[in-house]
Amino acid sequence: MEFSTLTTASLHTLKTPALAVGVFQDGVLSEAADALDQAASGALRAIVKAEFDAAPGSCLPVHAPAGIAASRVILLGLGAQDHYKAAVHARAQAALAAYCARAGVAGTVSTLAAIACPDSSMTDRARAAARAAAAAAYRYDATFSKPRPAPKLRTFALHVGRGQAAQAREGLRQGGAIGAGMNLARTLGDLPPNVCTPTYLGKTARDLARQFKTLKAEVLDQRKIEALKMGSFLSVARGSAEPPAFIVLRHTPSARPAGKHAPVVLVGKGITFDSGGISIKPGPAMDEMKFDMCGAASVLGTMRAIAELDLPHEVIGIVPSCENLPSGTANKPGDIVTSMSGQTIEILNTDAEGRLILCDALTYAERFKPAAVIDIATLTGACVIALGHVNSGLFSQDEDLAQALLAAGREALDPAWRMPLEDAYQDQLKSNFADMANIGGRPAGSVTAACFLSRFAGKYPWAHLDIAGTAWNEGKDKGATGRPVPLLVQYLLDRAGSR
Ligand code: BES
Ligand code: MN
Ligand code: ZN
């Protein structure tokens, strides 16, 4: 998609298939809507009065209004003017993008970003607008016999004041990259598990490194993983005929910032199918466990976005990837494995496999002497029970890192909620036969999972995001969401200070 800004003075002379303006509740027109209404001799105000309540997210196209050059004016509802905020703006931009996709519109000009709102800058609003447009252009069509009709939206322009064009352009650039990163994450999540294998994820990392010159990919195979003594990760991989992959994707900015900067490391859970293993899951909805690599997908999507933006900081993405299947060589309840850290683990439930592959990746991350490590994983059903599909679960004992991630989530409208991670929960992981068990019983299941990981993340500031409830939608709209790519990119942008 092509993003641009416009600063034309007379909106009514603008030729575009769809010109979008904001309308508040009780018939209050935004500045742009008012200007168009004057050019159309009051026609817009009359339509608003007759049939538009301007509820947030609502949308009413007005075709070929007299006195206006655009083929249609799209009225977008912004709710009550005194409650207007960034989230309502983003929702309206999403409604516009959805309308364009539905109606087969090829290009649109939106005037919404020019409306000030208390909790956002022009850059923030432009970022949200571009992200919405890019996300609406997503269509999964890899495995249909006939190509599905794709959205036609090709050009997206923001109409802004002259003094704000540079800020708007920077926001569009960021939002476009975030949208493309989300769409990559969604595609990987949506692909079936017989296509999106560990090998496929490795190939995706290599393809990214070919496409972006700041990225370098390394994919370690079974032999190299053995040489690293990742006994915990390998124990999960051993149940499947599909070979595991340990992916390291490194972004080195083209211009190094002054001074020395330790990298941020992102670690994504890459279980390309989770049957539960010998502790097998029930049949209904088991297909959804193809999404168990959405942490990995969010790492690859985030790496794509920051490479496109050439973020001025080093970031390293790590993905341990394998399948979790039952077989004659699979983990059994009672098995004890030795992790790369040397700590031994009694596997009491083979379905708690995510932590078994992540722990070795967290140990591997030590070699980068990282400023921070964030792991992202569809780790526990318990997190879905606790937080539903709204917030990702955030676990961290590092106050600064936790606050930075929470703020990034709020800013990016991709929220996370802080969960506890105190030593008192560690007792639940006690094993009679090994340094720890891989499960802590039903109480606080998402917390004990995080406690398990914390035992491998002591050498650097660390945070864990449980995205089991936010990475995909169930039911009729089943599919990957691309979360938490927006949160992660926002965190990295904030950190690099390029806002
Ligand atoms: N991938 C699942 C977590 C999951 C379950 C995500 C349901 C979304 C929906 C993970 O590997 C898993 O199976 N966790 C177990 C842990 C338990 C055995 C301690 C769970 O949550 O049931
Ligand atoms: Mn599992
Ligand atoms: Zn899993």
Kindly give the distance from the C-alpha atom of residue 281 to the centroid of ligand 2, in angstroms, as a whole number. 8
Q: What would the pLDDT profile of 113-141 be if each residue is shown by its tens digit?
A: 999 998 899 999 999 999 999 999 999 99
Q: Which of 132, 97, 3, 188 is nearest to 413 (CA)?
A: 132
Integer Cα distance of 323 and 270 in angstroms: 8
Please give the average per-residue pLDDT across 94-103, as a whole number. Answer: 96
Catalytic residue among 281, 410, 495, 499: 281
Q: pLDDT at position 162, please? A: 94
Cβ proximity of 184 and 305 under 8 Å: no
Q: Which atom of ligand 1 is closest in space to residue 383's alpha carbon?
A: 21
352 pocket-lining for ligand 1 (C-beta < 6 Å): yes
137 CA from centroid of ligand 1 (Å): 31
Domains, in order of start, for the chain: 2-156 (3.40.220.10), 179-496 (3.40.630.10)
Helices within 287-353 (DSSP H only) = 294-309
Indicate whether residue 439 lines ligand 1 (CB < 6 A). yes
Answer yes or no: are the C-beta atoms of 212 and 311 closer than 8 Å. no
**461 ligand 1 Cβ < 6 A:** no
pLDDT band at 9 (very low <50, low <70, confident <90, very high): confident
pLDDT greater than 60 at residue 313:
yes
d(CA 275, CA 353): 10
Residue 210 appears among annotated catalytic residues: no
- Confidence class of residue 499 from pLDDT cuts 50, 70 and 90? very low
**Model pLDDT for residues 191-210, shown as the tens digit of each residue:** 999 999 999 999 999 999 99
Question: Does 45 qualify as catalytic in the annotation?
Answer: no
Is 382 within 8 Å of 444 (Cβ atoms)?
Answer: yes
- Which pLDDT band holds residue 259 (cuts at 50, 70, 90)? low
Q: 470: Cβ below 6 Å to ligand 1?
A: no
> Would the pLDDT of 251 be above 60?
yes
Angle of helix 198-211 versus helix 294-309 axis, rounded to 10: 0
Of residues 203, 102, 188, the one with CA closest to residue 482: 188
Decide: 274 in ligand 1 pocket, CB within 6 A: yes
Q: How far apart are CA 17 and CA 106, in angstroms?
A: 7
Q: Which atom of ligand 1 is nearest to the CA of 448?
A: 19
User: Which ranges of 310-380 does DSSP label H, i.e. alpha helix?
Assistant: 354-365
Q: From the CA of 449, give the closest atom in ligand 1.
A: 19
Closest ligand to C-alpha of residue 452 is 1
Above 60 in pLDDT, residue 341?
A: yes
Angle made by CA atoms 294, 310, 121, in degrees to the nearest 5: 85
Give the number of whichever ligand sits closest to the CA of residue 276.
Answer: 2
